[in-house]
């Protein structure tokens, strides 16, 4: 049975999509059958693996108007597939509001994927709207990226409250997969302070791997490539490979 992981943080600029793309690529390189679902209307996860919508998207997939075969696309990395998205997904927030069981649409859609993939990773929007709620309802766990900057933990209480709400009423099995420190610079006192605060707050769920500030990581999306295809030798690539090993070890 595959593991479904939502990557979520309502703050923008924390490395959420970067983590979704590069964690998936690293899991695939470890020969784990992996699917990336782009549930952010901006579509950056789709372009980040070099895929543009061609046929069905996460919009049709979630609403049940297209089959899995029409939505899943291959990538340049073996073992990695993606369900891309486009701007129409933004309108689904409004469409779902009037629907019965509106939080359950994605959960119903992903059920059949557990037999096909070892990991299904959902990239969510930087908000706590209906799309993110669908992702949390469908997922087994949530991975939270936190940037090593001022106000890193600001707003997390709202995200955790949403997670608890989902646990109580929509998905009693939802768990915290882990907390990932991003934009790390060990030379800076601030980075170390944020790490200490995160460990105090989240304990052992904080990953040992930290994602550093890295120019090559920042450049890779503009070339439509995960970091492993853009510069496999850079520190950013090595960090995501280490993270994938932690995720795999946790889910053996």
Task: List the beta strands (DSSP E) in 3-129.
Answer: 3-7, 34-38, 73-74, 80-83, 119-123
Average pLDDT, the chain: 92
3-state SS, residue 185: coil
Q: What is the pLDDT of residue 240?
A: 98
Per-residue pLDDT of 80-90, as tens digits, reads: 999 999 888 88
Task: Choose between 112 and 79: higher pLDDT.
Answer: 79
With bands split at pLDDT 50, 70 and 90, how would you rate the model's confidence at 132?
Answer: very high
Residue 94 confidence (pLDDT) above 90:
no
Residue 194 confidence (pLDDT) above 80:
yes
Domain containing 158: what range? 3-250
With bands split at pLDDT 50, 70 and 90, how would you rate the model's confidence at 11?
Answer: confident
Q: What is the pLDDT of residue 49?
A: 96
Distance in angstroms (rounded) separating the CA atoms of residues 197 and 133: 27
Residue 109: Cβ-neighbour burial (10 angstroms; 0-12, 13-18, 19+):
buried
For the beta carbon of residue 192, count every other beta carbon within 10 angstroms.
Answer: 14
The counts of H helices and E strands in the chain are: 12, 8
Domain harbouring 166, CATH code: 3.40.50.300
For the ranges 95-99, 143-147, 198-202, which has the lowest average pLDDT?
A: 95-99
Q: What is the pLDDT of residue 245?
A: 98
Q: What is the pLDDT of residue 101?
A: 85
Structural domain count, the chain: 1
Q: Tell me the pTM.
A: 0.95
Tokens 């500030």 map to which residue?
A: 213
Closest listed residue to residue 49, CA positions, set 13, 23, 14, 12: 23
The average pLDDT across 201-209 equals: 94
Q: What is the pLDDT of residue 90?
A: 85
Q: What single DSSP character describes residue 84?
A: -
Q: What single DSSP character describes residue 213?
A: P
Per-residue pLDDT of 23-69, as tens digits, reads: 999 999 999 999 999 999 999 999 999 998 888 899 998 888 888 88
Task: Choose between 111 and 75: higher pLDDT.
Answer: 75
Judge contact between 190 and 150, C-beta under 8 A: yes
For the ranges 100-109, 117-126, 207-216, which has the lowest average pLDDT?
A: 100-109
Closest listed residue to residue 226, CA positions, set 11, 10, 17, 40: 17
Residue 239 confidence (pLDDT) above 90:
yes
For the beta carbon of residue 81, count every other beta carbon within 10 angstroms.
Answer: 24
Q: What is the pLDDT of residue 95?
A: 80
């Amino acid at each position: 049975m595959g593991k479904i992981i939502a990557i979520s943080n309502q703050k923008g600029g924390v490395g959420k999509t970067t983590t979704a793309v590069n964690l998936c690529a690293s899991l695939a390189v470890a020969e784990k059958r992996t699917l990336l679902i782009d549930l952010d209307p901006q579509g950056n996860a789709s372009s980040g693996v070099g895929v543009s919508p061609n046929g069905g998207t996460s919009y049709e997939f979630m609403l049940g108007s297209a089959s899995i075969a029409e939505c899943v696309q291959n990538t340049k990395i073996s073992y990695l597939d993606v369900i891309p998205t486009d701007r129409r997904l933004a309108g689904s927030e409004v469409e779902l509001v009037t629907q019965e069981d509106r939080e359950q649409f994605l959960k119903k859609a992903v059920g059949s994927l557990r037999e096909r993939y070892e990991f299904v990773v959902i990239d969510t929007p930087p908000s706590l709207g209906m799309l993110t709620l669908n992702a949390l309802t469908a997922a087994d766990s949530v991975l939270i990226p936190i940037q090593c900057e001022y106000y890193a933990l600001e707003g997390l209480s709202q995200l955790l409250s949403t997670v608890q709400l989902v646990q109580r009423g929509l998905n009693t099995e939802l768990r915290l997969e882990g907390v990932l420190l991003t934009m790390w610079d060990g030379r800076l006192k601030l980075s170390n302070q944020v790490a200490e605060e995160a460990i105090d707050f989240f304990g052992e769920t904080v990953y040992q791997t930290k994602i550093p500030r890295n120019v090559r990581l920042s450049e890779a999306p503009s070339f439509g490539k995960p970091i492993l295809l853009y510069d496999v030798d850079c520190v950013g690539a090595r960090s995501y490979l280490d993270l994938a090993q932690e995720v795999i070890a946790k889910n053996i």
